[in-house]
Amino acid sequence: MTPAVDVSSGTVWRTCPIRSSPSAGARSWLTQRDLLRGEGISHPEARTRFLVARALLRRTIAEARPDLGWKVLDIRTARSGRPTVVDIDPLLDPFLAPNLDPELEDHLGLYLAVSHTRGLAAVAVSTVGPVGIDVEPLGRDGLPPAEIWLTPDEQEEHASLLPSRRRAQLLRLWVAKEAALKANDAAQALPRRELSIRRSGEVDRVPISEDDPEAWVIAEVVWHEIEARFLVALAASVTGR
């Protein structure tokens, strides 16, 4: 597991290699509910990735908020698609437990993000505001056609690059947009081709017409390479704070 890195005060992210099955160490962080949810995933590799990422998420939550009992927290998916933490212990919260609300976005003041791919899981936990994370193998092929998800300016820049640099640049933009989408509700409502990634890591919303001239920064992204095999983007929402 990579060491925790603070990208901003209150945010921790970690990555963990994924092998053929969760290690005993990873399993020690899983609850019975996690295991039951894993059993519901039919594809074996997808199940392993889910379980490893879930264990990593629980471990990172315990690190970010050691005052919370990680075993009595359930992790659900809210309507936005974000993972959300819910306190399920009726002894701790007798009024909440019978009325679990998976739409709660920031229960207990924790913001979570998860991504996994073949070989690596990545999670981010923040006590500050919405975060997003995305990971892809550096050698990944098969990116969707550029005109589907790049802004016109990004398409122009992409076309001007040497062919040998295009795939790396596309992957960098892809993980940044995925992380920004996860970090920001405003971004989630936008097509990827309306999210502009600056070299500095700022993520802008692109105006779509003359009647709609406003652009604004909605997130900030940082990139990291892991073991020269994976590219991780970590986004922190700007407008969501």
Partner 1 sequence: MNANDPRELLIEVLSGIAPETDPATVDPTEDLRDELDLDSMDELNMITRVSGRLGIDIPEKDYPLMRTLDGAVDYLTGRMAAPAP
Q: Is 113 left (phi over 0), alpha (psi -120 to 50) or beta?
A: beta
Least distance from C-beta 92 to partner 1, angstroms?
30
Q: Is 189 near partner 1 (CB under 8 A)?
A: yes
Alpha-helical (H) ranges within the chain are 24-27, 32-39, 44-64, 146-149, 152-160, 163-183, 185-188
Residue 139 makes contact with partner 1 by CB under 8 A: no
Q: Does 168 contact partner 1 by CB under 8 A?
A: no
Could you give the CA distance from residue 64 to residue 51 in angstroms, rounded to a whole number? 20
Does 148 contact partner 1 by CB under 8 A?
Answer: yes
Q: Does 152 help bind partner 1 (rule: CB under 8 A)? A: no
Q: Which is nearer to partner 1, 108 or 206 (CB)?
A: 206
Segment interacting with partner 1, rule: CB under 8 A, options 41-49, 102-110, 125-133, 202-210: 41-49
Which of helix, strand or coil describes residue 219? strand
- Name the residue nearer to partner 1 (CB basis): 25 or 81: 81
Residue pair 12/18 in contact (Cβ under 8 Å)? The answer is no
On the 0-12 / 13-18 / 19+ scale of CB atoms within 10 A, 190 is middle
Write the CA distances from 110 to 114, 125, 137, 222, integer angstroms: 13, 7, 28, 20
Site membership for partner 1, residue 43 (CB under 8 A):
yes
> Do residues 112 and 63 touch, judged by C-beta distance below 8 A?
no
Residues β-bridged to residue 209:
212
Residue 147 CB, nearest approach to partner 1 (Å): 10
Q: In whole angstroms, how close is the CB of 215 to partner 1 at the nearest point?
A: 18
Q: What phi and psi values does residue 57 have, to the nearest 5 degrees? A: -65, -45
Reduced to 3 states, what is the DSSP secondary structure of residue 102?
A: coil
When binding is defined by CB under 8 A, the residue of 5, 143, 186, 222 that contacts partner 1 is: 143
Binding mask 104-123 for partner 1 (x = CB under 8 A): -------------x------
Candidates 43-51, 119-127, 160-168, 209-217; binding stretch for partner 1 (CB under 8 A):
43-51
Q: Does 136 bind partner 1 (CB under 8 A)?
A: yes
In this structure, what token pair is assigned to residue 84? 């959300």
Site for partner 1 contains 191 (CB under 8 A)? yes
Chain residues 46-105 in contact with partner 1, contact rule CB under 8 A: 46, 50, 81
Q: Considering beta carbons, is residue 144 or 152 the nearer one to partner 1?
A: 144
Binding site for partner 1 (CB under 8 A): 40-43, 45-46, 50, 81, 117, 136, 140, 142-145, 148-149, 174, 178, 189-192
